[in-house]
Structures are given as C-alpha cells and as structure tokens.
Chain A
C-alpha cells in the first residue's frame, strides 16, 4: 500500500515523528495514551502490512502485559490496597500506573517502527547532511550494516550450498566447519568491501570543498500547508502540556483533570495529529475510488 505521508517533504516527516514520539513519551494521561497507542498500531500495520501486525501481537502486547504485572510488584504506593504480596501492599494505583506505562512504551516503539518505514536514510541525509555531514553519513551506513550483512550471508551460504558445503547437512563437525567457512568468506568480503567503499567515495570526491548534493525534494504549497497544520497542532499540544493536560496524578491517588473546553481542544488536536497520516491515506484512497468508478 502506498503511503501518502511519506511523499511529503522530509522536514514534515521528521517534525511529525519528533512531535508524536515526544508527546507519547511524556504523556501519562489515559486519553493521550489511548489515542497514541491506537493510532501508532494502525499506522504501523498500514505501513508494514501483515508482518507488523504479527510483531505487534506477538511482541508488543506481551511486553505491555509484563510491564503492567511487574510494576505493582516493585512499586507499592497508592491509597487503594487490593491485597498483599509478602509484607507490601498491592495497590490499584500501582497496577494502573503499570498499565499506563505499558501503553506508553508500546506506542513509542510502534511510532519508531513507523518512523523507520517513512524516514528512509536518503531523507535523513538530506535533512542533516548540511548540519552534520559525517555523522549523518555514518548513521545511515550503520543502519544499513545489519540488513546488508544478512543479505550477503544468505548469498554466500547459497553459493556454498551449490558445492555441497552447507550448514544444513552433515555431521555436527562438518556443519560447524562449513559455518566457519561461510563466516570467513563473509569477513573477507566485508574487509574488501570497506576498501572498495572508501575508494569509491574518494573517486567521487568525498570530502572536497564546494560540493553540492542532489535531492529531489522540494517544498511546495501542499508541504507548506501541512507544515503549518502540524505546527499549529504542536503549539496547541505544547500549551496543553504546559497546563498539565497530558499528565495525570497516579500517586497517592488517581486524579485527572476534568475535560473542559480547552482540554477537549487539546485532546482533539492530539487525535488529529496522531491519525493525520492515516487520514491522508484514507482521503487519498477514497478519492481514487471515486475517480476510478466514474470512468
């Protein structure tokens, strides 16, 4: 599925994710947590498909449950005593705080998985290449390192399989020997490749003065409008956070602010911000359906 939000200018992508991740990290209000968790879950599934759904259910959900169970075992504050473990009380407040922390952690991880899908390394280099050229290059190379090595190892082991030296057959000793052989080929390749990379970079004039770089990103009116919208949301949320709308008291007793006019506005702004990419995609899909049905 094509994601429309990814086609916006990198500045917009980056601002959006920075804002959403930061607000998710520092919000313990259940309304904020719920909005953030649901939106990030939906967006990550939308971006990464079935695999993401599997990952979310198999890994993120157990993590949430674990956090919710572990917190009351270590934190015993709170006025509502439900029972005792050992000498210390288990309190309602502590359990709910654990649940809230679980939601917070889950949504931050999910937002990061969305970030990885949207902010590709070329976008990152485009944004930060000027400010910190060496760092951003290093960063994108390091991020590429693991998937690249994985692909190369697969290639090598397939080649070895063709000549009958594979880890999938033979005695344990033979398998180990083949594995070590593959590893040795891998290391040789990595060393050679690093020299090649360095040569290639030098040949293209890396580090010379006065070089310009090409990028296909431009800021058009659509991007400007979106940037203004996101900035407006962030300002509203920042004002709301300053007034304490994104937080809530858990200890010694649960105490939240009652949702009045401004509070509802802040909640709406957060809902809007979190579901923005999904809404864009939805709008685009509906538009496409309508247009194609007319023909």
Chain B
C-alpha cells in the first residue's frame, strides 16, 4: 500500500515536471521565432532606408509601409513601448544584429568631443573632477577620422578614444539594444548636476536613439557634447525637436 502511494506520487511529480518542461520548450521556440521574424523585418526596413539619399520620394512610400513593422519589432524588444523613430531623411536606428562592418571600404567622418557647458556651470561641477576638465572644455578637437563601412557612432568613438588614450566608459543596455556612454575623459554623467550627461549629434541632429545603432555615412559630422541640462543647453531639447518635426 505504502509503496504504491509513493510510486503514484513520484509518477505525478515526473508527469508535472515533464509537462512544465514541455511548456517551457514551447514558449522558448515561439520566442525564437518572433525574434527571427522581427530581425528579418527590421533588416528589410534598414534595406529600405538605405537608398533614402538617392531618391527620397521613392523610398518614402516604402518607408511608410515598413515603419509599422519596425515599430512592432521594437515593441517586442523594448519594455518602453515607445520605439525610437527618426524624422524623414534621417537614418532610422539599426538593430545591432543587422549591422555588418565591411573592413575593405574606408570612409571619413569628423569627430569632436566637448564639455564646454561645464564651464558655464562650474558651481555644480564635481570639484574632485576639476583636474580632468580641459581648460577650454574641448576633450577631443574636431578631427577627420577614418571608419569602415557599416560602423556606428559608437565604434568611431571607441576607436578614437582608445587611440588617443582618452578614458571612456560605456555600458550596453539590452532594453535599448544600444551602448550608453557613461563617461568620457573621467567626466561622467551626473558630474555636473543631476541633469548632466553625454549626448551625441550627427550633422546637427541629436538622434533619439543609442549611438551604437547609428550607422555612419561618409562625411558625417559627429559631435559628442556634454549637457548640464538634459540637452537644453546644447540645442538638443527633446521636446522641442519633437514638436519641430
């Protein structure tokens, strides 16, 4: 009697465990499927976005069609719900897995790293960091630097800071599928008030997505600027930019 009861309990346990395992597998496989689908869709979107330069009108219709797909794909990846969308004629954010670097093709961009805004907000600046603050606020003077086809703003920043022995710390946040720059030259976010941090600007526009999703083109102008006021002091006010477009 007792043994039979034990056997029954064990059987029940094994059954429930196997059920749970099967359910888990099912979930997993479904998750993978959607991921792949999403990747494909975003890939298509990026492909569609590429010829924007040559023929704006042609791709516009295509872009319109593809955009919902991009948004849907991003929704699955981000908990934010809001997906980054670029205004027209600006590159849409690329998904990390779609970025392919072609080392054979070399292009050039200009890079500038500056924290001039700190000089106007010296009273809120961390006093222990005074020694790393450049006198005129320029960490990296505007310079022509080379990059390879398919590389992002982040790749260029990483390479140049390493070459110049400039300190730079970044963190990759999976939610946004992008790198976030915490500090350059030991000047970190929040070092100049709680609204301060690093922002980037390409050809006069502050992209509203991460720097490792911005695929560069030949002749782009990258500026890394330190803001002490959430971008308002460097012309990168997010709200204004949104209403303007």
A residues sitting closer than 8 Å to B (CB atoms) are 76-79, 81, 84, 87-89, 91, 249, 251-253
Q: Are A88 and B162 in contact (CB under 8 A)?
A: no
Residues on A with beta carbons closer than 8 Å to the beta carbon of B162: 84
Residue-wise, chain B 113-149 has the 8 Å CB interface mask toward A (1 for contact) of 0000000000000001101100000000000000000
Q: Are A88 and B129 in contact (CB under 8 A)?
A: no
Q: Measured between C-beta atoms, what is the minimum distance from A61 to chain B in Å?
A: 30
Residues on A with beta carbons closer than 8 Å to the beta carbon of B169: 76-77, 88-89
Secondary structure at the A interface, as helix, strand, loop or mixed, is loop
Q: Are A87 and B128 in contact (CB under 8 A)?
A: no
Q: Measured between C-beta atoms, what is the minimum distance from A87 to chain B in Å?
A: 6
Q: Measured between C-beta atoms, what is the minimum distance from A144 to chain B in Å?
A: 40
Give the complex CA separation of A251 and B126 in angstroms.
Answer: 11
Q: Are B165 and A252 in contact (CB under 8 A)?
A: no
Residues on B with beta carbons closer than 8 Å to the beta carbon of A76: 167, 169
Q: Are A88 and B131 in contact (CB under 8 A)?
A: no
Number of A-B contacts (CB under 8 A): 36
Give chain B's interface residue range (CB within 8 Å of chain A). 10 to 19
Residues on B with beta carbons closer than 8 Å to the beta carbon of A87: 158, 170, 179
> Can you spell out 19 A-B residue pairs with CB atoms less than 8 angstroms apart?
A76-B169, A77-B169, A77-B183, A77-B186, A79-B132, A87-B179, A88-B168, A88-B169, A88-B170, A89-B167, A91-B167, A251-B128, A251-B186, A252-B131, A252-B132, A252-B167, A252-B186, A253-B131, A253-B132
Secondary structure at the B interface, as helix, strand, loop or mixed, is mixed
Chain B: CB-nearest residue to A250: B128
Q: Are B170 and A81 in contact (CB under 8 A)?
A: no
Give the complex CA separation of A252 and B158 in angstroms.
Answer: 20
Give the complex CA separation of A87 and B154 in angstroms.
Answer: 10
Q: Are B131 and A78 in contact (CB under 8 A)?
A: no
Chain B: CB-nearest residue to A89: B167
Chain A: CB-nearest residue to B191: A252
Give the complex CA separation of A81 and B167 in angstroms.
Answer: 7
Residues on B with beta carbons closer than 8 Å to the beta carbon of A81: 165, 167
Residues on B with beta carbons closer than 8 Å to the beta carbon of A253: 131-132
Give the complex CA separation of A77 and B170 in angstroms.
Answer: 11
B188 in the interface (beta carbon within 8 A): yes
Chain A: CB-nearest residue to B130: A252
Q: Are A252 and B129 in contact (CB under 8 A)?
A: yes
Residue-wise, chain B 158-187 has the 8 Å CB interface mask toward A (1 for contact) of 100010010111100000000100010010
From A76, A88, A251, A252, name the one whose CB has the most chain B CB atoms within 10 angstroms: A252
Q: Are B179 and A77 in contact (CB under 8 A)?
A: no
Give the complex CA separation of A77 and B131 in angstroms.
Answer: 14
Q: Are A252 and B128 in contact (CB under 8 A)?
A: yes
Give the complex CA separation of A272 and B188 in angstroms.
Answer: 40
Q: Contacts A87-B170, A249-B128, A252-B128: A77 and B165 contacting too (C-beta < 8 A)?
A: no
Chain B: CB-nearest residue to A249: B128
Residues on A with beta carbons closer than 8 Å to the beta carbon of B170: 87-88
